[in-house]
Amino acid sequence: MDPTITYNVIPKLPSALKSLRELAYNIWWSWEPAVRKLYRDLDDELWDRTNHHLVRLLQLPRQSRLIKVSTEEPYLTSLRGVMERFHAYLSRKDSYASTKPNPPVAYFSAEYGLVESFPNYSGALGILSGDHCKSASDLSQDHELCLITWAR
């Protein structure tokens, strides 16, 4: 029997939408409703089908849909506003950690309740671990936070 070859065709993001990829790889989107709205508006059906998994959602839309959205000024205005808030959040200097020296932090947990599209938790301790990650990010300690999980 001949081996089966699988090809995955991933649409190319138009340059006006490139920042969607940057947002998809940062968990900040999970607590910002405006970010989730951007992805839902990109393709509402895919938003549901991918269980709000932004990286997967960017791999599945039709190229024609991406091109159409990349020319819609209200969408692009929203995207620019979200990116301004995102970069302001990352570069803020008024957090606790920006005023105190930060020793490295290691947080060990078998599960993290971050978002529903990353189901790596089963209960309250996982949600607590996710809350600690969010708090560390708000304190600008996210670059120091070491997330360690083990395979189940």
Q: What is the pLDDT along the chain (152 residues), one digit of tens a residue?
A: 777 888 777 899 999 999 999 999 888 888 889 999 999 999 999 999 999 999 999 999 999 999 999 999 999 999 999 999 999 888 877 766 666 666 666 767 777 777 777 766 677 777 777 777 777 777 666 544 444 444 33
On whether residue 56 sits in a domain, the answer given is yes
My answer on whether 54 and 31 are in the same domain is: yes
Assess contact for 76 and 16: CB atoms under 8 A: yes
My answer on whether 62 and 105 are in the same domain is: no
Specify the 3-state DSSP secondary structure of 108. strand
Indicate the Cα dihedral angle 73, 79, 82, 88, nearest 10°: -100
My answer on whether 71 and 58 are in the same domain is: yes
Backbone angles phi, psi at 148, to 5 degrees: -125, 120
Assess contact for 43 and 66: CB atoms under 8 A: no
On whether residue 6 sits in a domain, the answer given is no
Backbone angles phi, psi at 146, to 5 degrees: -110, 110
Q: Which domain holds residue 45?
A: 15-91
On whether residue 40 sits in a domain, the answer given is yes
pLDDT of residue 144: 43
My answer on whether 106 and 123 are in the same domain is: yes
My answer on whether 19 and 82 are in the same domain is: yes
My answer on whether 84 and 103 are in the same domain is: no
CA–CA separation, 39 and 48 (whole Å): 10
pLDDT of residue 8: 78
Total residues found in the chain within this entry: 152
b/e string for 72-85 if b means 16 or more Cβ within 10 A? Answer: eeebeebbeebbee
pLDDT of residue 101: 64
On whether residue 23 sits in a domain, the answer given is yes
pTM for the predicted model, two decimal places: 0.71
pLDDT of residue 22: 92
Give, for 110, the enclosing helix (H) or strand (E).
none
pLDDT of residue 121: 64
On whether residue 119 sits in a domain, the answer given is yes
